[in-house]
């Protein structure tokens, strides 16, 4: 896996990540439901992919690329 190319919301608190090398994976973010942004699905869907590969939501909630890579379920 290398840099993230695309992130798509695929369900309640689940995202699909596509890397530039073609690898895809699914990440379930329910484990973070203690964070306010993850309690509301409409707010959950509004995030940014940071230049370093982290995902960031409003209020400073950030999941590092290392955390993503550790917890992702590969699809291919």
Mean pLDDT over 4-26 rounds to 92
The pLDDT score that the predictor gives to residue 61 is: 86
CA distance 10 to 72: 14
Mean pLDDT over 1-15 rounds to 87
- Domain ranges in the chain are 4-74
Instruction: Assess contact for 76 and 30: CB atoms under 8 A.
Output: no
The pLDDT score that the predictor gives to residue 44 is: 77
The pLDDT score that the predictor gives to residue 1 is: 64
pTM given for the model: 0.83
The pLDDT score that the predictor gives to residue 56 is: 93
> Domain 4-74, what architecture?
2-Layer Sandwich (3.30)
């Amino acid at each position: 896996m290398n840099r993230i190319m695309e992130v798509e919301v695929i369900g309640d608190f689940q995202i699909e990540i596509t890397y530039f090398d073609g690898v895809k994976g699914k990440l379930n973010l329910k484990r973070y439901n203690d964070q306010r942004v993850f309690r509301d699905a409409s707010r959950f869907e509004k995030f940014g992919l940071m230049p370093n590969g982290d995902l960031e939501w409003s209020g400073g909630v950030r999941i590092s690329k290392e955390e993503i890579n550790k917890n992702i379920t590969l699809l291919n």
